[in-house]
């Protein structure tokens, strides 16, 4: 499995609590913040849940 870079590009304001918690679990707390994580099935599922708020790049 490779790594992916996840960047939050849209705000978490007025989003359901489960989406906010998913962003927290991914390690994203602010706009334009990026994290690099392993592309495991669990991470891919979390990314799919909030994909409308993120930008994802394969490394």
| H, E, C per residue of 21-52 | HHHHHHCCCCCCCEEEEECCHHHHHHHHHCHH
Residue range of the domain that includes 30:
3-58
Count of structural domains within the chain: 1
Are 53 and 23 a contacting pair, CB within 8 Å?
A: yes
Instruction: Summarize pLDDT for 16-55 with one digit per residue, the tens.
Output: 999 999 999 999 999 999 999 999 999 999 999 999 999 9
Query: CATH code at 44?
Result: 3.30.1390.20
The pTM assigned to this predicted structure is 0.92
Instruction: Summarize pLDDT for 9-24 with one digit per residue, the tens.
Output: 999 999 999 999 999 9
């Amino acid at each position: 499995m490779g790594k992916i870079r996840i960047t939050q590009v849209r705000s978490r304001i007025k989003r359901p609590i489960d989406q906010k918690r998913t962003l927290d679990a991914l390690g994203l707390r602010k706009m334009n913040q990026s994290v690099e994580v392993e592309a495991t099935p669990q991470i891919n599922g979390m990314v799919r849940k909030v994909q409308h708020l993120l930008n994802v790049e394969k490394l």
